């Protein structure tokens, strides 16, 4: 059974790229463009990993990571944070919110898949 990854990204091109690459690597993906829909989507989809854009309209990816970590059924799910704004202290704030790992945009496919595979090992689902 394929591992499930929730892809939270408001940029249409980035969301499509992440989803296409993940599907090509055997993952089942659920794209979410609106941060306000993330918690419901995560509860329904039960992902093995959440790929979280940090800069979202209406709600911060940092707030969403913290909210996921407060959910009993989702607290164990690793979050791979992705952001275009990699300023001083950002990585610390992202990790403090509960992200397991962090990538700065633009994201290269090799490091992206390395990070995904590190957080979602190949053992049976």
Peptide bond into 106 cis (omega under 30): yes
Which band of pLDDT confidence, cut at 50, 70 and 90, is reported for residue 125? very low
CB 87 within 8 A of CB 40: no
Task: Give 3-50 pLDDT, tens digit per residue.
Answer: 999 999 999 999 999 999 999 999 999 999 999 999 999 999 999 999
Instruction: Give the global pTM.
Output: 0.94
Q: Which domains does the chain have, with CATH numbers?
A: 4-119 (3.40.50.2300)
According to DSSP, the residues that pair with 102 across neighbouring strands are 81
């Amino acid at each position: 059974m394929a591992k499930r990854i929730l892809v939270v990204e408001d940029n249409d091109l980035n969301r499509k790229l992440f989803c296409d690459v993940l599907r090509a690597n055997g993952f089942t993906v659920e794209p979410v463009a609106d941060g306000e829909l993330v918690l419901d989507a995560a509860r329904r989809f039960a992902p093995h990993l959440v790929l979280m854009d940090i800069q979202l309209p209406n709600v911060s990816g940092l707030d969403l990571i913290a909210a996921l970590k407060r959910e009993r059924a989702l607290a164990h799910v690793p979050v791979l944070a992705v952001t275009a704004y990699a300023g001083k202290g950002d990585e610390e704030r992202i990790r403090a919110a509960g992200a397991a790992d962090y990538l700065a945009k633009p994201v290269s496919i090799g490091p992206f898949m390395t990070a995904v595979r590190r957080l979602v090992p190949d053992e049976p689902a």
